[in-house]
Chains A and B, each alone.
Chain A
Amino acid sequence: DAGVIQSPRHEVTEMGQEVTLRCKPISGHDYLFWYRQTMMRGLELLIYFNNNVPIDDSGMPEDRFSAKMPNASFSTLKIQPSEPRDSAVYFCASKGNNQPQHFGDGTRLSIL
C-alpha cells in the first residue's frame, strides 16, 4: 500500500506566482480532503470531495484558492495568485467508507 502521495514535498515561490499542489489518494478510497496546517491556526479543513464531487468548500479561504478532482486517483489544489500568508503545510487525506482518514506527508509551501 503506497499510501497517500503528495507532490511536491517542498515548494518555494515568489508572491504572485501560481502554485499547484498534487495528491494521489489511496486506491479505492472515495473521500478526499485538503487541509492546511499552521502554527497559528492549527489544522484547517479547506475542502473535501466524495466520489470526485466537492461536498464542502466552506474552508477555502478566498477565491484565490481552487481545488479539482478530475478522477478518482488525482486531485489538485491551486493558489493563484499566491501571497506570503499562504505559507503553510498543506495535507491531503483520503478515506474509504466507514474508514479513518489517511494523510499524506504534506507539501511545505513557502511564499516569499
Chain B
Amino acid sequence: QQQVKQSPQSLIVQKGGISIINCAYENTAFDYFPWYQQFPGKGPALLIAIRPDVSEKKEGRFTISFNKSAKQFSLHIMDSQPGDSATYFCAASKGSNYQLIWGAGTKLIIKP
C-alpha cells in the first residue's frame, strides 16, 4: 500500500510533442504529490507538486493532472524540447514533512 507505480519506464517523444508520464498510488492518506527532474550527474530537483484539493496545476509547459477517485496523477510536458531530456520521478507522501515514496522513474528522450 506504500508503493507508487510509475509508467512508462522510458519514453521517446519528438520535439514539439507532448510527453505524458503516469503514476498510481494506493494509500489514500497520501496528500502531497511532487514530480522531480534529474539530469545525468545531478541530484533530482523539484519540478512541480500538487495537493489533492485541486485536479490540475500548471507551471509553464509542465502540468500535473490529478484524479483522486482513480488514485492517479500524471505529468504532461507540452511542446517538449531536447533540454527536457532527463529522468522524471513521481513521489507521494502524507504531508510534506513525511518521507517521500518514490516511483521508479521514467527516462525521457526528446528527439530533435
Judge whether B104 and A105 touch: CB under 8 Å: no
C-beta contact mask, A77-112 vs B, less than 8 Å → 1, else 0?
000000000000001010001111111111000000
> Chain B residues near A105 (CB, 8 Å)?
41-43
> Chain B residues near A48 (CB, 8 Å)?
99
> Chain A residues near B45 (CB, 8 Å)?
102-103
C-beta contact mask, B69-112 vs A, less than 8 Å → 1, else 0?
00000000000000000000100000011011010110000000
Judge whether B96 and A98 touch: CB under 8 Å: yes
Judge whether B49 and A100 touch: CB under 8 Å: yes
A-side interface size class: 20 to 34
Report the nearest A residue to B95, measured CB to CB: A98
Bound-state CA distance A111–B36 (Å) is: 28
C-beta contact mask, A45-84 vs B, less than 8 Å → 1, else 0?
1001000000010000000000000000000000000000
Q: How many residues of B contact A (CB 8 A)?
A: 16
Interface SS, A side: strand
Judge whether A98 and B42 touch: CB under 8 Å: no
> Chain B residues near A102 (CB, 8 Å)?
45-46
Judge whether B97 and A43 touch: CB under 8 Å: no
> Chain B residues near A97 (CB, 8 Å)?
97
A-B contact count (CB 8 A): 41
> Chain A residues near B104 (CB, 8 Å)?
42
**Known: A31-B97, A45-B99, A56-B99. Contact between A103 and B105, CB under 8 A?**
no
Judge whether A100 and B96 touch: CB under 8 Å: yes
Bound-state CA distance A34–B10 (Å) is: 26
Across the interface, A106 reaches (CB within 8 A) one of B43, B97, B99, namely: B43
Report the minimum CB–CB distance from A100 to chain B (whole Å). 4
Across the interface, B46 reaches (CB within 8 A) one of A4, A42, A100, A104, namely: A100
Q: List A residues at the B interface (Cβ < 8 Å).
A: 4, 31, 33, 42-43, 45, 48, 56, 91, 93, 97-106
- Additional A-B contacts beyond A98-B96, A100-B34 (17; CB < 8 A): A33-B99, A42-B104, A42-B105, A43-B44, A43-B105, A93-B43, A97-B97, A98-B97, A100-B46, A101-B46, A103-B43, A103-B44, A103-B45, A104-B43, A105-B41, A105-B42, A106-B42
